């Protein structure tokens, strides 16, 4: 049993897994590079997590996917690759300039026909989508990776947009363990409230997984709507 693993070892392991198992292609690499050129923060999911989302979509048989937080479309590409040709990913992005970069990336990846990017405050977009759910149907998979302060609000909206069996993934729920501090505030406090909400809600059955990779010490929650 290894007592301590340094960050460089995390990076070495992630690089090995990415090259050996994940095998991300040029379209995904370009999505990351385009984000850097546009001055976006390097906060897209790691390649291993991206492929996990793709496989989760495929395993769950998802056809309708909702993503909250598009950035440059890196995770959007993975999600779209996990659904059938007649499936749809609706992705919510607050900033028009980010949405424009993401649009180019999903089109370049060859899955643009599956992806609809909605620009604006996500809670407003989700309210609009809730009105359409009766005709369009509920979402099968929901990925939340946006402003942490609204996580609980996003989860509440997710319930309105889902069905029993819908899978919900929330990114960044470990945050270097900062949420454990008694004086936690800001994003750290919001993450603790997110975990407490998932753990106490009778509408979700959830777990959380800690990760150590190029994004540091973090993790994600996976829940199923009951």
CA distance 167 to 107: 26
Residue 119, pLDDT above cutoff 80: yes
Q: What is the pLDDT of residues 16-25, one digit of tens each?
A: 999 999 998 9
CA distance 94 to 69: 8
CA distance 58 to 45: 18
Nearest to 221 by CA among 121, 161, 139, 154: 154
CA distance 48 to 10: 12
Q: What is the pLDDT of residues 25-49, one digit of tens each?
A: 999 999 999 999 999 999 999 999 9
Q: What is the pLDDT of residues 60-113, one digit of tens each?
A: 999 999 999 999 999 999 999 999 999 999 999 999 999 999 999 999 999 999
CA distance 23 to 180: 35
Question: What is the percentage of the chain residues whose pLDDT exceeds 70?
Answer: 96
Per CATH, which fold does 7-225 belong to? Rossmann fold (3.40.50)
Residue 11, pLDDT above cutoff 70: yes
What is the pLDDT at residue 136? 72
Question: What is the percentage of the chain residues whose pLDDT exceeds 90?
Answer: 89
- What does residue 5 show for φ and ψ, rounded to 5 degrees? -125, 120
What is the pLDDT at residue 153? 98
Nearest to 200 by CA among 162, 157, 152, 160: 152
Q: Are 204 and 158 in contact (CB under 8 A)?
A: no
Q: What is the pLDDT of residues 165-188, one digit of tens each?
A: 999 999 999 999 999 999 999 999
Q: What is the pLDDT of residues 124-168, one digit of tens each?
A: 999 999 988 666 789 999 999 999 999 999 999 999 999 999 999
Q: Are 94 and 119 in contact (CB under 8 A)?
A: yes
């Amino acid at each position: 049993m290894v007592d301590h693993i340094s960050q460089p070892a995390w990076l070495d392991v992630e690089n090995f897994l990415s090259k050996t198992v994940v095998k991300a292609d040029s379209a995904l690499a370009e999505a990351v590079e385009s984000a850097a050129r546009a001055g976006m923060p390097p906060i897209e999911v790691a390649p291993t997590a991206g492929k996990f989302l793709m496989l989760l979509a495929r395993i769950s048989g998802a056809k309708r996917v909702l993503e909250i937080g598009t950035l440059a479309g890196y995770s959007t590409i993975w999600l779209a690759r996990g659904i059938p040709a007649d499936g749809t990913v609706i992705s919510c992005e607050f900033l028009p300039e980010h949405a424009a970069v993401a649009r180019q990336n999903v089109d370049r990846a060859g899955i643009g026909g599956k992806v609809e990017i909605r620009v604006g405050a996500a809670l407003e977009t989700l309210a609009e989508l809730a009105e359409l759910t009766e005709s369009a149907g509920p979402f099968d998979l929901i990925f939340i990776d946006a402003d942490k302060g609204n996580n609980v609000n996003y989860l509440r909206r997710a319930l309105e947009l889902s069905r029993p069996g819908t899978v919900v993934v929330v990114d960044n729920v470990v945050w270097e363990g900062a949420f454990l501090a008694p004086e936690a505030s800001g994003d750290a406090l919001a993450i603790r409230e997110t975990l407490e909400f998932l753990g106490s809600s009778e509408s979700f059955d959830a777990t959380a997984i800690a990760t150590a990779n190029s994004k540091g010490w973090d993790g994600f929650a996976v829940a199923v709507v009951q």
